[in-house]
Structure 1
Amino acid sequence: MDNTGDKRRRVLLISFPSQGHINPSLQFAKRLTRHHVHVTFVTSLSVYRRMPQIPTLPHVSFASYSDGYDDGFKPGDDDPNRSHSEMERLGSEAVKDMITTNAEEGQPFTCVVYSILFPWVAVVARSLHLPSILLWIEPATVFTLYYHYFNGYKDTITQSILDNPSRTIQLPGLPLLTGHDVPSFLLPSNVYGFGFSVFRRLFELLAQQTNPKVLVNTFEALEQDVLRGMDKFHLVPIGPLVPSAFLDCEDPSDASFGGDMFPCSRKNDDYISWLNSNPKAAVVYVSFGSISRLSKEQKEEIASGLLSFGQPFLWVIREEDMGDDTLSCREELEAVGKIVPWCSQLEVLSSPATGCFVTHCGWNSTLESLVCGVPMVGFPQWADQGTNAKIIEDMTETGVRVEVGMDGMVKREEIKRCLEVVMGDSNKGEEIRKKALKWKELAKGAARDGGSSDANFKAFVDQVCS
């Protein structure tokens, strides 16, 4: 626990133990410290064990608890439903102890902030009469979709998907959607029961409050109609939650999230030096985030699509994703581009040489690409990523979405076609690149001093953290 003895207001920030939650949560913590707030950042012990180095941040204390999986959750071996149940049981006890101990030591928390998938945190906070607030790290569009599903539109959404996944679905305050745009936890084919149950419980708890505030990692210009169309909740856009050096430049030293659970590749010849040696907007960057695993067949299709397109590329394939699979054309690939097990994504996206991002459409990756003005080829896998691909292709028009074949595969020809659209000389490609630059400026404008997200963040600190 923290023993600094200063008079800063204190916030307990609790993050789900995965990279996609840690990054925006850490950035949120850094922003709080700029406003005379001390943050105790809490996640499971397994996260800290995976980090090559635990961050050292001014006015941020790091605390952990055992969730029963201290060596990390092992997909394929461990049961996700049991894992989540244990996380709640053990986490609830640990968080309760942290809150009561701090109060007994004369350093009480003024509020608790928690990320999605952790509705139990709100229950613990309420039992101790402490205010809590949800940090929604996905787009407001996804929040609204979940809300409507659990409040009168379940049958409409489900039946439409069962009848024809390509049929349009009209929901209040949202653009026209199809079954391909709906979060995977709400699909009839969903196999992760814990995800559905957690979101249902989260919205049940929120409904018990009167017009509760929800902090959203988005910005007003990006989802203005959606944000204003939700009258049951006060959705507060405070994003993009991206390091300052790439956004508002108020803190040039803030050049990374600081909580990588994967070591960056800096072996032999530096990939950043290689990247920057290429012509402007010539390189295709490919990454599917920290969780998704592609089949060997899908990786082969991507490899062939990249080779056929012919431009240099930087492709992230995590070590556990590669496994024992060896790409049949590895030598040909390495003659054209680079394959690394992990990288500093913001460094890559901010390089003038990066011309396109082939992305799984995780919301962090989507926002980072918008902030850096890089067009995208959306290749969604699960969770909120289908909705995010909709935002990329239709709402911001900063990219295109791959078409998936009847066998569930995205073929090499389709990958090449999408790259040609985004990086080629067609009118559509030029328009996509113009839109990418437009959204870059809008994202940065929201975060600058006096911008909409900056003003919302300051108001939150004044109203909730005091």
Structure 2
Amino acid sequence: MASNRSSSFIENEYSSLPHFLVVTYPAQGHINPCLRLARRLSLLAPAGSHITFSTALTAHRLMFPSSHDQPVHQGPISFIPYSNGFDAGFDSRIHDADHHLHQLRHHGSITLSSIITSSRHRRRPVTCIIYSSFLSWVADLAASLRIPAFLFWIQSATAFAAYWHYFHNFHVGISAAAFDPCSSVTLPLLPPMRAGDLPSFLSITSPDHPDAKLLPHLKDAFLRSPELRVLANTSEELETGAFESVAAEVKIVGVGPLAGEIWEASLFEEDEEWERHIEWLDKQKQSSVVYVSFGSMAVMSEKEVKEIERGLRDTRRPFFWAARKEISTVCELNAGTEDGKAGKVVRWCRQERVLRHKAVGCFVTHCGWNSTLEGLACGVPAVAVPRWTDQPTNAWLMERGWGTGIRAAVAAEGVPVAAEEVTRCVELVMGGGRIGEEIRRKAKEWKEKVREATVEGGPSDQNLRAFVEDHLSELHLTILDDCELQLS
């Protein structure tokens, strides 16, 4: 019997330490916050713990071009890809998004299960799975293997609350309001919003809309109550009402904003001129430059690009525009302004490094949640030009909730924003008037609040530490239970 006990404890020795499996959708906006979470977990978990970071093979190849599709190991973190059924690449211009998500579920379940099985055979069993949005099938896989799972919500808590109420008790009211973007929507414990401030998926009024098929994939995650457990890349200090809005129905814990330039991964080719771009910024006056970025997924017409470019030039202020290749080629040939001030158009940049640069005085942004948080953490006033998904909600938070920016009015004739509106908003934010002064004051104030929330010992830091400690306690209890069963 003593021999059996000894053998039992030796077998369990390898599972007495956590092994977090972080699974992310293969998009830049999902990968970076998930990677930052993985890095934080690696710092907080006991020595000898392990973290596996898994995204689709297509994204893994871009993150590690020389990996030859093989796992990559960096200290306690292993990068092991799963298959989404599009290993040769997904092209939104050719492939159907709904079909892609169905394929991702099918192939992802099979290959991720293989990763988990392999880890168990190596005596490093996965003890906790954390997954990002659009991957609710991961929770099904985790449940089948009796592994605890957590959704890592990479958008705002306000967007989470809007989706939660839509999928539960407010579907009719929100759907009715969707026909008029200016109509009022009141959700529990949230300030009044307009329909146009809600995530764009909730404003779809026709089943033929290109994004209509995506909503069911989101809905699946929100119908997992009461077992749904959520970590969110935000904090209660930033969005108190949103946390309170759903507190009675679902547990959502703020562990963000998770930020840090050194914890980024890029799916895009690095610009060889990057250091020269920074040298250009170094030559500009303090708080004089308009930084412009519409994210990694933006699809913009030539007309729209030209309209924004004209609006920027009319401010007669230097601008630094980080644009995807298809955007940058439209405007990069005429980067100089008549008065000698330069407009810099680049195809890639380390965004947080730019936002923290003393020369940057305004951020013209699409209001993706990562960019919104990075601008807030860096104390940079913003002009919001939201387009889809959670971006309108983030713009509402920025303008109405925090007062750190202004939202550009939508233009007519299919162009999201007119040149004159770009100019007006930039001048309001950067000018010497009362509105600009108040926005800049608020930006500094919220920068400090973000720091207080995320610094060691701050609320978000404490929440993440408590998450790790709770998992350790559950893990040890499970091991004791297993040992008692074996001994009996």
Q: Which residue, 281, 284, 290 being the options, matches 2:290? A: 284
Alignment of 1:337-356 (within 5 A): 337-356=343-362
What RMSD in Å do the two structures reach over aligned CA positions?
2.0
Letter in 2 for 1:180: G
* 1:378/1:399 contact within 8 Å kept: yes
Letter in 2 for 1:203: F
Q: Does 1:450 align with 2:435?
A: no
Alignment of 1:206-225 (within 5 A): 207-209=225-227, 212-225=228-241
Query: For residue 437 of structure 1, what is the aligned residue in structure 2?
Result: 444
Distance apart, 1:27 and its partner CA: 0.2
Flag the 1:43–1:97 CA change in 2: closer, same or farther, 3 A.
same
Report the Cα distance in structure 2 between the residues aligned to 1:430 and 1:288, rounded to whole angstroms: 25
Q: Does 1:394 align with 2:390?
A: no
Unaligned runs of 5+ in 2: 1-13, 476-488
Report the Cα distance in structure 2 between the residues aligned to 1:48 and 1:300, rounded to whole angstroms: 34
Distance apart, 1:57 and its partner CA: 3.5
- TM-score of the superposition, structure 1-length normalised? 0.91
Structure with greater Cα Rg = 2
| Partner-residue secondary structure (3-state), 1:34 | helix
Report the Cα distance in structure 2 between the residues aligned to 1:257 and 1:176, rounded to whole angstroms: 36
Q: Does 1:385 align with 2:407?
A: no
* 1:32/1:38 contact within 8 Å kept: no
Letter in 2 for 1:12: L
Q: Which residue, 177, 180, 187 being the options, matches 1:160? A: 177
Alignment of 1:56-455 (within 5 A): 57-162=74-179, 164-189=180-205, 190-205=209-224, 207-209=225-227, 212-230=228-246, 231-243=248-260, 255-267=261-273, 270-322=276-328, 325=330, 329-330=334-335, 332=337, 336-409=342-415, 410-455=417-462
* 2:204/2:212 contact within 8 Å kept: no
Q: Deviations over 1:391-425 (max 9, x none)?
A: 11000100000001232321111000000110000
Q: Which residue, 446, 451, 468 being the options, matches 1:461? A: 468
Flag the 1:335–1:277 CA change in 2: closer, same or farther, 3 A.
closer
Report the Cα distance in structure 2 between the residues aligned to 1:108 and 1:201, rounded to whole angstroms: 27
* 1:96/1:124 contact within 8 Å kept: yes
Report the Cα distance in structure 2 between the residues aligned to 1:322 and 1:52, rounded to whole angstroms: 25
Distance apart, 1:109 and its partner CA: 1.2
Report the Cα distance in structure 2 between the residues aligned to 1:204 and 1:221, rounded to whole angstroms: 27
* 1:283/1:354 contact within 8 Å kept: yes
Query: For residue 249 of structure 1, what is the aligned residue in structure 2?
Result: none
Letter in 2 for 1:390: W
Report the Cα distance in structure 1 between the residues aligned to 2:123 and 2:333, rounded to whole angstroms: 62
Distance apart, 1:158 and its partner CA: 1.3
- TM-score of the superposition, structure 2-length normalised? 0.87
| Partner-residue secondary structure (3-state), 1:173 | coil
Q: Which residue, 21, 31, 55 being the options, matches 1:43? A: 55
Report the Cα distance in structure 1 between the residues aligned to 2:364 and 2:74, rounded to whole angstroms: 32
Report the Cα distance in structure 1 between the residues aligned to 2:453 and 2:364, rounded to whole angstroms: 25
Q: Which residue, 20, 23, 31 being the options, matches 2:29? A: 20
Letter in 1 for 2:192: L
* 1:122/1:132 contact within 8 Å kept: yes
Flag the 1:335–1:72 CA change in 2: closer, same or farther, 3 A.
farther
Report the Cα distance in structure 2 between the residues aligned to 1:298 and 1:133, rounded to whole angstroms: 39
Report the Cα distance in structure 1 between the residues aligned to 2:32 and 2:173, rounded to whole angstroms: 35
| Partner-residue secondary structure (3-state), 1:262 | coil
Report the Cα distance in structure 2 between the residues aligned to 1:228 and 1:180, rounded to whole angstroms: 22
Moved more, 351-360 or 334-343: 334-343
Q: Deviations over 1:374-395 (max 9, x none)?
A: 0010000111000000011000
Letter in 1 for 2:277: Y
Moved more, 98-107 or 331-340: 331-340
Moved more, 63-72 or 367-376: 63-72
Report the Cα distance in structure 2 between the residues aligned to 1:354 and 1:70, rounded to whole angstroms: 39
Letter in 1 for 2:22: L
Percent of pairs with identical residues: 38
* 1:167/1:178 contact within 8 Å kept: yes
| Partner-residue secondary structure (3-state), 2:74 | coil
Letter in 1 for 2:459: S
User: Would you say how many aligned residue pairs link Structure 1 and Structure 2?
Assistant: 446
Letter in 1 for 2:442: K
